[in-house]
Structure 1
Amino acid sequence: MKHFLLLTLMSYSVLALTVNKKIEENLAFEKYDQVIIDANQALLTETNRKQIASIMYYKAKALYHQGELEDAFEILKELVEDYNFEIDYEKVLNLQFEISNARYEKSGSSNFFGSSEEAIEFYEALIAQAPYSKGASTSMLRIGMLQQDDNDDIAAMSTYHKLIATYPKSDEAGYARIYIAQFNIFSMRGIHGNLELMREAKTQLRLFINQYNKHPLLSEAKDQLASLEEVEAERTYNLALFYLDPVHSRPAAAKRYLYKVVVDYPDTEAAVVAEAKLEKLDKSYKGEIKTRQISKKKNDDLQKKLEQQIFTPLAPQARDRSTRRIIVRPEDSKGKFLVPVEDLGLDLVPLENTDTVNKEEGEK
């Protein structure tokens, strides 16, 4: 009897492996219709729960590749709910995420879920079961976005901060920084320019700009940071105007605020008008912005000159290798050079403080 049971189990295992191998081969060759036919046929007679779960997973994968996203997702939901002890949880959740991501990219929302609460639960489950999977950081970003859609901004900001802390190098962390900055900018407008919110927004934008060179939102982040700089510069400039008013006349304080605008926000429009006022108030003022502009021009001219010297094309005599004189042969260099060193015939000027210069001076 035991021998018969063992043979039965062995034959069942061989049959299951054969079915799975056939389905996997058809998946690999993108024969999705055949996968669905074979899966449906196998499910009619299969009784082993682990094998049923495997076949259902294959079927969901085939349906996904055929574009039947809703049907594929429903099968995977059933696996998570009813076969959670028989499935590779991370593999199923990752495929669910991949499908929901495909729908999200098409329509801007994953409408497989009946509510945002259900969607958040799904993404939280994916993160909990597979915290280092490729979909984990995106899932956390989606949670924050869904919370914002539900007007739960406090929870959303907490999620974004957690995302930055957990996956600091991900592209999603960049989006989180931008969303935090945008939320603070929006909130700042509603409560008369709260400085704490402005500082937080500027911090997130600067960290974002320093970290990401090719992020889709890089240009927008730079514009937002420049806009905040302009707001701060204008506020500081207005304080200077306040102390220049005869009613509150304090010229020394006014000069300090004007100078702060010029030094701290040199690239703003407010800095230009602040400098003009400083020049009238303080005859000894030399002009920070003008000095920087002149210095920048000098540096640019010097850089251009150096580049011209470095990248100047070789003289005609230097291009003709047949006329070049070999200065050092590899066999005479004690292993220092692997190829001959040739004289380019450029008649270089001797460097200062060298033996060449000293010899020439001695000869004179």
Structure 2
Amino acid sequence: MRLKFLFLLLAGLAALPVSADDKAALDAFAAGREQENQRNFLSAADFYLEAQVQADDPVQKANALISAARAFRKARKYGDEFDCLQKLAQGHVTRINYYEVVKRQFEIGDKFHAGHRDYYRSWLPFIKKDDRTIEIYEAAIKNAPCGPEAPEAMLRLGRLYLNDGKVDQAIRHFSEAIKLHPGTEAARYAALELSNALLTLAKRGDGDGSNAQLALEAFDTFLAKHPDDPQTDWIKRSREEIYGIIAARLCDIGKFYSKNKKYDVAQRYFTTVIRDYPSTKSTAEAENELAAINEEFRANGQEWTPEKRVFREEAFPAEHSDTLHVPGSGSRWLLPIKDTRGGLVDRNKEEVITDDML
């Protein structure tokens, strides 16, 4: 009886109609498999992609994309293979071996970095498509920023951006390689590239001198981590160059104030150059500027002395407020307590709230 019931159940399942889309997907997949067996890989990939579009079942879609990626790989159309893998990584994470998919994306990026370019048609192999190295590396790094292949990709990507003149994006990738993959060889080279990029920005002039300060931090960090590195001599020379850039900037600001008769302000900038950057060329300029200020005063029968700045401490003035206690002032109360009495609150005295006051 049980066998008869099972037979009827299986017969009923077999008789269930297959949707038109699923049937078209199965037919396209079968055609793709036949073309792949005949080594017509591009035709096979087209059939697999058609199956992916027609299929309703997500598992069937994933299988079609995997087969299309395999066919494109056999046809050496690595850019199209990457597109299939990216769809798998974004839409079928639970149905694939994610690590292997992303690892293959990095490998494709390496191939493009080495010079590979997809061709437009098999019968026009001499017409190549555009370089997709940056696009592929960016996507692969986004998919697995902490993967073992990521630091080398970040380093290469930063160098590509440097070659394109996009220094800010290069700095971002060098910094990520150093932060996410410390201790790797790629991170060491990224630190050198980062130092060089910041040095380039500092030479161009950055207004507030922030790039010069960042370059100094990068130099000091590299020397602390790699004191015996062969590149330490270059780092030290570059650091002296940065000192010269900072000193020249401060000296120019001092000249501006001196030209506008703001001698006390100018004196502070010139003194900073002489005190903090004595080995730079700007030190002599700063000394000459200070001497010129003194000579101008003497020519007018005056003696110039720098203004002395005096600092004094003053208490907070009493102010109107309805807040009796501010959270975080050392008491155990977490919420502000309002004073309904009004009047002035002395901020210089810490008020203590006791139970009998509530």
Normalization by structure 1: what TM-score?
Answer: 0.42
Question: More helix per residue: 1 or 2?
Answer: 1
What TM-score results when the alignment is normalised by the length of structure 2? 0.43
